[in-house]
Structure 1
Protein backbone atom coordinates (compact mmCIF):
# COMPACT_ATOMS: atom_id res chain seq x y z
CA UNK A 1 0.00 0.00 0.00
CA UNK A 2 1.27 3.46 -0.85
CA UNK A 3 2.25 5.53 2.22
CA UNK A 4 -0.10 8.38 1.28
CA UNK A 5 -3.04 5.99 0.93
CA UNK A 6 -2.21 4.34 4.23
CA UNK A 7 -1.99 7.73 5.94
CA UNK A 8 -5.35 8.80 4.55
CA UNK A 9 -6.97 5.55 5.67
CA UNK A 10 -5.53 5.91 9.14
CA UNK A 11 -6.81 9.46 9.43
CA UNK A 12 -10.31 8.31 8.45
CA UNK A 13 -10.17 5.52 10.97
CA UNK A 14 -8.77 7.72 13.71
CA UNK A 15 -11.33 10.50 13.34
CA UNK A 16 -13.96 10.58 16.09
CA UNK A 17 -12.37 8.05 18.42
CA UNK A 18 -11.05 8.74 21.89
CA UNK A 19 -8.33 6.14 21.56
CA UNK A 20 -7.38 4.58 18.24
CA UNK A 21 -4.48 2.16 18.17
CA UNK A 22 -4.55 0.89 14.59
CA UNK A 23 -4.42 -2.82 13.73
CA UNK A 24 -4.04 -4.35 10.27
CA UNK A 25 -3.74 -7.59 8.35
CA UNK A 26 -3.52 -8.45 4.65
CA UNK A 27 -5.81 -11.22 3.38
CA UNK A 28 -5.12 -13.74 0.62
CA UNK A 29 -6.56 -11.38 -1.99
CA UNK A 30 -4.13 -8.62 -1.11
CA UNK A 31 -6.70 -6.47 0.68
CA UNK A 32 -5.39 -4.63 3.72
CA UNK A 33 -7.89 -4.58 6.59
CA UNK A 34 -7.54 -1.75 9.10
CA UNK A 35 -9.45 -1.38 12.34
CA UNK A 36 -9.22 0.19 15.76
CA UNK A 37 -11.38 -2.61 17.20
CA UNK A 38 -9.65 -5.97 16.55
CA UNK A 39 -12.24 -7.70 18.78
CA UNK A 40 -9.98 -10.63 19.61
CA UNK A 41 -9.18 -11.42 15.97
CA UNK A 42 -5.63 -12.76 16.15
CA UNK A 43 -4.95 -11.98 12.47
CA UNK A 44 -4.65 -8.29 13.32
CA UNK A 45 -1.29 -6.81 14.30
CA UNK A 46 -0.82 -3.32 15.71
CA UNK A 47 0.68 -1.00 13.10
CA UNK A 48 0.25 2.35 14.84
CA UNK A 49 -0.10 3.31 18.49
CA UNK A 50 -1.89 6.59 19.13
CA UNK A 51 -2.10 8.48 22.43
CA UNK A 52 -5.34 8.44 24.34
CA UNK A 53 -7.27 11.65 23.70
CA UNK A 54 -8.91 13.43 26.60
CA UNK A 55 -12.66 12.91 26.41
CA UNK A 56 -13.10 16.68 26.51
CA UNK A 57 -11.15 16.95 23.26
CA UNK A 58 -13.43 14.46 21.55
CA UNK A 59 -16.48 16.35 22.83
CA UNK A 60 -15.23 19.73 21.68
CA UNK A 61 -15.76 19.03 17.98
CA UNK A 62 -18.76 16.74 17.89
CA UNK A 63 -19.71 14.93 14.73
CA UNK A 64 -22.41 16.90 12.93
CA UNK A 65 -23.11 14.03 10.54
CA UNK A 66 -23.68 11.68 13.47
CA UNK A 67 -25.94 14.27 15.09
CA UNK A 68 -28.18 14.25 12.02
CA UNK A 69 -28.19 10.46 11.81
CA UNK A 70 -29.22 9.99 15.46
CA UNK A 71 -32.24 12.28 15.34
CA UNK A 72 -34.64 9.43 14.55
CA UNK A 73 -33.57 7.58 17.70
CA UNK A 74 -33.63 10.77 19.76
CA UNK A 75 -37.14 11.75 18.67
CA UNK A 76 -38.40 8.21 19.30
CA UNK A 77 -36.97 8.27 22.84
CA UNK A 78 -38.33 11.79 23.41
CA UNK A 79 -41.82 10.63 22.50
CA UNK A 80 -41.53 7.43 24.51
CA UNK A 81 -40.38 9.09 27.73
CA UNK A 82 -41.95 12.54 27.24
CA UNK A 83 -38.60 14.32 27.41
CA UNK A 84 -37.70 17.22 25.12
CA UNK A 85 -35.55 16.13 22.18
CA UNK A 86 -33.68 19.42 22.64
CA UNK A 87 -32.68 18.28 26.15
CA UNK A 88 -31.56 14.85 24.91
CA UNK A 89 -29.45 16.50 22.21
CA UNK A 90 -28.02 18.91 24.78
CA UNK A 91 -26.93 16.09 27.08
CA UNK A 92 -25.41 14.10 24.20
CA UNK A 93 -23.56 17.19 22.96
CA UNK A 94 -22.06 17.81 26.39
CA UNK A 95 -21.44 14.18 27.29
CA UNK A 96 -20.00 12.55 24.18
CA UNK A 97 -20.18 14.92 21.22
CA UNK A 98 -22.28 12.25 19.43
CA UNK A 99 -19.46 9.69 19.66
CA UNK A 100 -21.22 6.37 20.33
CA UNK A 101 -17.90 4.78 21.28
CA UNK A 102 -16.87 7.39 23.85
CA UNK A 103 -15.58 6.03 27.17
CA UNK A 104 -14.73 8.38 30.02
CA UNK A 105 -11.91 7.83 32.54
CA UNK A 106 -14.65 7.07 35.10
CA UNK A 107 -16.13 4.31 32.94
CA UNK A 108 -19.14 6.16 31.54
CA UNK A 109 -19.95 4.84 28.08
CA UNK A 110 -21.61 5.83 24.84
CA UNK A 111 -23.64 8.74 23.55
CA UNK A 112 -25.18 9.65 26.89
CA UNK A 113 -22.19 8.44 28.96
CA UNK A 114 -24.01 5.90 31.10
CA UNK A 115 -22.17 4.38 34.04
CA UNK A 116 -22.71 0.61 34.52
CA UNK A 117 -25.08 1.03 37.49
CA UNK A 118 -27.35 3.42 35.57
CA UNK A 119 -27.29 1.21 32.47
CA UNK A 120 -28.30 -1.80 34.56
CA UNK A 121 -31.01 0.14 36.38
CA UNK A 122 -32.67 1.24 33.16
CA UNK A 123 -32.33 -2.02 31.28
CA UNK A 124 -29.60 -1.07 28.82
CA UNK A 125 -28.40 -4.30 27.26
CA UNK A 126 -25.59 -2.79 25.17
CA UNK A 127 -24.20 0.58 26.22
CA UNK A 128 -22.44 0.99 22.87
CA UNK A 129 -25.72 0.59 20.97
CA UNK A 130 -27.04 4.07 20.07
CA UNK A 131 -30.62 2.83 20.46
CA UNK A 132 -30.08 1.27 23.88
CA UNK A 133 -27.90 4.10 25.14
CA UNK A 134 -30.29 6.86 24.08
CA UNK A 135 -33.28 5.03 25.52
CA UNK A 136 -31.49 4.38 28.81
CA UNK A 137 -30.19 7.92 29.12
CA UNK A 138 -33.57 9.41 28.26
CA UNK A 139 -35.33 7.15 30.76
CA UNK A 140 -32.85 8.38 33.36
CA UNK A 141 -33.52 12.01 32.44
CA UNK A 142 -37.28 11.41 32.73
CA UNK A 143 -36.73 9.85 36.15
CA UNK A 144 -34.67 12.84 37.34
CA UNK A 145 -37.21 15.32 36.01
CA UNK A 146 -39.89 13.53 38.06
CA UNK A 147 -37.75 13.54 41.20
CA UNK A 148 -37.07 17.26 40.90
CA UNK A 149 -40.58 18.24 39.80
CA UNK A 150 -39.54 19.30 36.31
CA UNK A 151 -36.72 21.58 37.48
CA UNK A 152 -34.40 21.36 34.50
CA UNK A 153 -31.35 22.78 36.26
CA UNK A 154 -31.56 20.27 39.12
CA UNK A 155 -32.27 17.35 36.80
CA UNK A 156 -29.22 18.20 34.70
CA UNK A 157 -27.09 18.61 37.83
CA UNK A 158 -28.28 15.21 39.04
CA UNK A 159 -27.45 13.63 35.68
CA UNK A 160 -23.85 14.68 36.30
CA UNK A 161 -23.47 14.35 40.06
CA UNK A 162 -26.29 12.02 41.09
CA UNK A 163 -29.64 12.83 42.66
CA UNK A 164 -28.36 12.30 46.21
CA UNK A 165 -25.72 14.99 45.71
CA UNK A 166 -28.39 17.47 44.61
CA UNK A 167 -30.63 16.60 47.55
CA UNK A 168 -27.73 16.84 50.02
CA UNK A 169 -26.91 20.27 48.56
CA UNK A 170 -30.37 21.44 49.67
CA UNK A 171 -31.91 21.04 46.21
CA UNK A 172 -29.27 23.24 44.62
CA UNK A 173 -26.53 22.52 42.11
CA UNK A 174 -23.83 20.73 44.14
CA UNK A 175 -20.63 22.71 44.79
CA UNK A 176 -18.49 20.50 42.56
CA UNK A 177 -16.41 22.27 39.93
CA UNK A 178 -17.35 19.73 37.26
CA UNK A 179 -21.08 20.00 37.95
CA UNK A 180 -20.96 23.78 38.26
CA UNK A 181 -19.46 23.92 34.75
CA UNK A 182 -21.61 21.11 33.36
CA UNK A 183 -25.03 22.56 34.15
CA UNK A 184 -24.68 25.88 32.27
CA UNK A 185 -23.05 24.07 29.34
CA UNK A 186 -25.97 21.66 28.96
CA UNK A 187 -28.53 24.43 29.44
CA UNK A 188 -26.80 26.52 26.77
CA UNK A 189 -26.95 23.58 24.35
CA UNK A 190 -30.60 23.06 25.32
CA UNK A 191 -31.52 26.65 24.54
CA UNK A 192 -29.56 26.44 21.28
CA UNK A 193 -31.49 23.36 20.14
CA UNK A 194 -34.79 24.62 21.49
CA UNK A 195 -34.39 27.69 19.29
CA UNK A 196 -33.72 25.54 16.25
CA UNK A 197 -29.95 25.81 16.39
CA UNK A 198 -28.26 23.12 14.34
CA UNK A 199 -31.61 22.35 12.65
CA UNK A 200 -32.06 19.43 15.03
CA UNK A 201 -35.84 19.47 14.82
CA UNK A 202 -35.82 19.14 11.06
CA UNK A 203 -32.95 16.74 10.57
CA UNK A 204 -33.19 13.15 9.40
CA UNK A 205 -35.45 11.23 11.74
CA UNK A 206 -34.80 7.79 10.31
CA UNK A 207 -33.43 5.38 12.95
CA UNK A 208 -29.87 4.22 12.41
CA UNK A 209 -28.33 0.83 12.91
CA UNK A 210 -26.26 0.10 15.99
CA UNK A 211 -22.70 1.31 15.74
CA UNK A 212 -20.25 -1.23 14.37
CA UNK A 213 -16.46 -1.32 14.71
CA UNK A 214 -14.83 1.09 12.32
CA UNK A 215 -13.22 -0.84 9.46
CA UNK A 216 -11.54 0.33 6.30
CA UNK A 217 -10.54 -1.99 3.46
CA UNK A 218 -8.00 -0.79 0.94
CA UNK A 219 -6.65 -2.64 -2.06
CA UNK A 220 -2.95 -3.41 -1.84
CA UNK A 221 -1.33 -2.38 -5.18
Structure 2
Protein backbone atom coordinates (compact mmCIF):
# COMPACT_ATOMS: atom_id res chain seq x y z
CA UNK A 1 0.00 0.00 0.00
CA UNK A 2 2.81 2.40 0.90
CA UNK A 3 4.37 1.72 -2.54
CA UNK A 4 1.14 2.76 -4.24
CA UNK A 5 1.02 5.96 -2.19
CA UNK A 6 4.64 6.80 -3.04
CA UNK A 7 3.90 6.09 -6.71
CA UNK A 8 0.93 8.44 -6.62
CA UNK A 9 3.06 11.12 -4.97
CA UNK A 10 5.73 10.70 -7.65
CA UNK A 11 3.09 10.90 -10.41
CA UNK A 12 1.53 14.00 -8.86
CA UNK A 13 4.98 15.59 -8.58
CA UNK A 14 5.59 15.23 -12.30
CA UNK A 15 2.69 17.57 -13.08
CA UNK A 16 2.31 19.52 -9.83
CA UNK A 17 1.31 23.14 -10.13
CA UNK A 18 0.93 23.66 -6.37
CA UNK A 19 2.28 22.36 -3.08
CA UNK A 20 0.99 18.85 -2.34
CA UNK A 21 0.48 17.60 1.23
CA UNK A 22 -0.17 14.18 2.69
CA UNK A 23 -2.26 13.49 5.78
CA UNK A 24 -3.82 10.50 7.47
CA UNK A 25 -7.60 10.62 7.82
CA UNK A 26 -9.73 9.34 10.73
CA UNK A 27 -9.80 5.79 9.30
CA UNK A 28 -6.02 5.60 8.84
CA UNK A 29 -6.12 6.24 5.09
CA UNK A 30 -3.74 8.56 3.26
CA UNK A 31 -5.06 11.85 1.90
CA UNK A 32 -3.22 13.80 -0.81
CA UNK A 33 -4.25 17.42 -1.08
CA UNK A 34 -3.16 20.91 -1.99
CA UNK A 35 -5.66 22.42 0.48
CA UNK A 36 -5.35 22.46 4.28
CA UNK A 37 -8.40 21.18 6.13
CA UNK A 38 -8.94 21.96 9.83
CA UNK A 39 -8.08 19.19 12.29
CA UNK A 40 -5.48 17.35 10.19
CA UNK A 41 -1.72 17.29 10.41
CA UNK A 42 -0.11 17.68 7.02
CA UNK A 43 3.34 16.94 5.67
CA UNK A 44 4.38 18.66 2.45
CA UNK A 45 5.60 16.06 -0.04
CA UNK A 46 5.83 18.22 -3.17
CA UNK A 47 6.83 21.87 -3.27
CA UNK A 48 5.47 24.04 -6.08
CA UNK A 49 8.37 24.83 -8.41
CA UNK A 50 9.72 28.38 -8.38
CA UNK A 51 8.69 30.18 -11.56
CA UNK A 52 11.30 30.13 -14.29
CA UNK A 53 11.57 32.41 -17.29
CA UNK A 54 8.93 30.36 -19.06
CA UNK A 55 5.26 30.64 -19.99
CA UNK A 56 4.13 32.33 -16.74
CA UNK A 57 6.80 34.99 -17.07
CA UNK A 58 6.27 35.29 -20.81
CA UNK A 59 2.70 36.18 -19.87
CA UNK A 60 4.03 39.02 -17.68
CA UNK A 61 5.83 40.36 -20.74
CA UNK A 62 3.11 39.81 -23.36
CA UNK A 63 0.60 41.49 -21.07
CA UNK A 64 2.62 44.73 -21.02
CA UNK A 65 1.78 47.76 -23.14
CA UNK A 66 3.56 47.83 -26.51
CA UNK A 67 4.50 44.14 -26.09
CA UNK A 68 4.55 43.50 -29.85
CA UNK A 69 6.72 46.55 -30.58
CA UNK A 70 9.12 45.59 -27.79
CA UNK A 71 9.29 41.95 -28.95
CA UNK A 72 10.08 43.03 -32.52
CA UNK A 73 12.78 45.47 -31.38
CA UNK A 74 14.29 42.88 -29.03
CA UNK A 75 14.53 40.33 -31.86
CA UNK A 76 15.91 42.83 -34.35
CA UNK A 77 18.65 44.13 -32.04
CA UNK A 78 19.23 40.91 -30.07
CA UNK A 79 18.49 42.36 -26.64
CA UNK A 80 16.32 40.81 -23.89
CA UNK A 81 12.65 41.77 -24.11
CA UNK A 82 12.45 41.82 -20.32
CA UNK A 83 15.27 44.37 -20.17
CA UNK A 84 13.57 46.64 -22.71
CA UNK A 85 10.35 46.49 -20.69
CA UNK A 86 12.25 47.24 -17.48
CA UNK A 87 13.87 50.28 -19.10
CA UNK A 88 10.59 51.56 -20.54
CA UNK A 89 8.87 51.22 -17.16
CA UNK A 90 11.68 53.16 -15.44
CA UNK A 91 12.08 55.75 -18.18
CA UNK A 92 8.50 56.68 -19.05
CA UNK A 93 6.09 54.41 -17.24
CA UNK A 94 4.90 53.39 -20.74
CA UNK A 95 3.88 56.97 -21.61
CA UNK A 96 4.77 57.48 -25.29
CA UNK A 97 4.51 61.27 -24.90
CA UNK A 98 6.78 61.48 -21.84
CA UNK A 99 9.19 64.44 -21.78
CA UNK A 100 11.90 64.94 -19.20
CA UNK A 101 13.20 68.27 -17.94
CA UNK A 102 16.52 67.40 -19.62
CA UNK A 103 14.80 67.00 -23.01
CA UNK A 104 14.51 63.19 -23.28
CA UNK A 105 11.44 62.04 -25.15
CA UNK A 106 9.13 59.08 -25.64
CA UNK A 107 8.83 55.60 -24.21
CA UNK A 108 12.58 55.07 -23.90
CA UNK A 109 13.36 58.72 -23.10
CA UNK A 110 15.81 59.31 -25.93
CA UNK A 111 17.77 62.53 -25.91
CA UNK A 112 17.50 64.35 -29.26
CA UNK A 113 21.16 63.70 -30.14
CA UNK A 114 20.89 60.02 -29.28
CA UNK A 115 17.63 59.69 -31.22
CA UNK A 116 19.25 61.24 -34.29
CA UNK A 117 22.34 59.05 -33.94
CA UNK A 118 20.13 55.94 -33.68
CA UNK A 119 18.20 56.89 -36.82
CA UNK A 120 14.95 57.77 -35.06
CA UNK A 121 12.84 60.01 -37.30
CA UNK A 122 9.84 60.53 -34.98
CA UNK A 123 10.91 60.25 -31.35
CA UNK A 124 7.28 60.36 -30.16
CA UNK A 125 6.26 57.45 -32.40
CA UNK A 126 6.29 54.40 -30.09
CA UNK A 127 7.68 52.01 -32.69
CA UNK A 128 10.42 54.37 -33.86
CA UNK A 129 11.31 55.24 -30.25
CA UNK A 130 11.53 51.62 -29.07
CA UNK A 131 13.62 50.64 -32.11
CA UNK A 132 16.02 53.49 -31.38
CA UNK A 133 16.14 52.67 -27.66
CA UNK A 134 16.81 48.98 -28.38
CA UNK A 135 19.56 49.92 -30.84
CA UNK A 136 21.15 52.18 -28.21
CA UNK A 137 20.83 49.52 -25.50
CA UNK A 138 22.57 47.01 -27.79
CA UNK A 139 25.39 49.52 -28.28
CA UNK A 140 25.74 49.88 -24.50
CA UNK A 141 25.76 46.10 -24.02
CA UNK A 142 28.47 45.73 -26.67
CA UNK A 143 30.48 48.58 -25.19
CA UNK A 144 30.44 47.03 -21.71
CA UNK A 145 30.96 43.38 -22.73
CA UNK A 146 27.31 42.44 -22.04
CA UNK A 147 27.55 43.58 -18.41
CA UNK A 148 23.89 44.41 -17.90
CA UNK A 149 24.48 46.52 -14.80
CA UNK A 150 27.01 48.77 -16.57
CA UNK A 151 24.90 48.92 -19.75
CA UNK A 152 21.86 50.06 -17.75
CA UNK A 153 23.98 52.62 -15.90
CA UNK A 154 25.31 53.90 -19.25
CA UNK A 155 21.77 54.11 -20.64
CA UNK A 156 20.97 56.48 -17.79
CA UNK A 157 24.19 58.41 -17.15
CA UNK A 158 25.94 58.08 -20.51
CA UNK A 159 28.74 55.70 -21.49
CA UNK A 160 31.56 58.16 -20.72
CA UNK A 161 30.52 58.49 -17.06
CA UNK A 162 30.56 54.69 -16.70
CA UNK A 163 33.78 54.20 -18.68
CA UNK A 164 35.67 56.79 -16.59
CA UNK A 165 34.81 54.99 -13.36
CA UNK A 166 34.56 51.41 -14.59
CA UNK A 167 31.44 51.15 -12.40
CA UNK A 168 28.02 52.66 -11.82
CA UNK A 169 28.64 56.41 -11.44
CA UNK A 170 27.95 57.92 -8.00
CA UNK A 171 25.09 60.10 -9.27
CA UNK A 172 22.03 59.86 -7.00
CA UNK A 173 19.63 59.39 -9.91
CA UNK A 174 21.72 56.61 -11.47
CA UNK A 175 22.17 54.89 -8.09
CA UNK A 176 18.36 54.75 -7.77
CA UNK A 177 17.72 53.97 -11.44
CA UNK A 178 20.01 50.94 -11.90
CA UNK A 179 18.63 48.82 -9.01
CA UNK A 180 15.06 49.72 -10.02
CA UNK A 181 15.60 48.56 -13.62
CA UNK A 182 17.45 45.41 -12.56
CA UNK A 183 14.76 44.53 -10.01
CA UNK A 184 12.07 44.78 -12.71
CA UNK A 185 14.23 42.86 -15.19
CA UNK A 186 14.71 39.98 -12.74
CA UNK A 187 11.00 39.99 -11.88
CA UNK A 188 10.03 39.70 -15.55
CA UNK A 189 12.41 36.76 -15.92
CA UNK A 190 11.08 35.03 -12.82
CA UNK A 191 14.39 35.37 -11.00
CA UNK A 192 14.98 36.07 -7.34
CA UNK A 193 15.79 39.68 -6.47
CA UNK A 194 19.43 38.81 -5.76
CA UNK A 195 20.01 36.45 -8.71
CA UNK A 196 23.18 37.10 -10.68
CA UNK A 197 22.65 38.60 -14.13
Equivalents in 1 of 2:190, 2:116: separation in Å?
Answer: 34
d(CA) in 2 for partners of 1:195, 1:97: 20
Q: Which residue of 1 aligns with 2:38?
A: none
Q: CA deviation at 1:193?
A: 1.0
The CA distance in 1 between the partners of 2:67 and 2:120, in whole Å, is 19
Aligned partner of residue 125 in structure 1, secondary structure: coil
Runs (5+) with no aligned partner, structure 2: 1-59, 192-197
Could you tell me which residue of structure 1 aligns to residue 143 of structure 2? 147
Deviations 1:159-197 (A, max 9, x none): 00000000111x10001111111100000010111129x
Cα shift at 1:147: 0.3
The SS at the match of 2:64 is: helix
| Contact 2:65–2:94 (CA under 8 A) maintained in structure 1 | no
Distance 1:194 1:120 in 2: 31
2:101, 2:81 → 1: CA distance?
A: 27
Residue 160 (str. 1) matches residue 156 (str. 2): yes
Runs of 4+ deviating beyond 2 Å: none
| Partners of 2:180 and 2:169 in 1: CA distance | 15
2:182 counterpart (181, 187, 207) = 187
Query: Which digits, 9 at most, give the CA deviation of each residue in 1:115-143, with x for residues without a partner?
Result: 00100000000000000000000000000
Q: Which has the larger radius of gyration?
A: 2
* Aligned pairs for 1:27-176 within 5 A: 68-169=64-165, 171-176=166-171
Q: How many angstroms does 1:68 deviate by?
A: 3.1
> TM-score normalized by structure 2?
0.64
How many residues align? The count is 131
Higher relative contact order (CA 8 A, sep 6+): 1
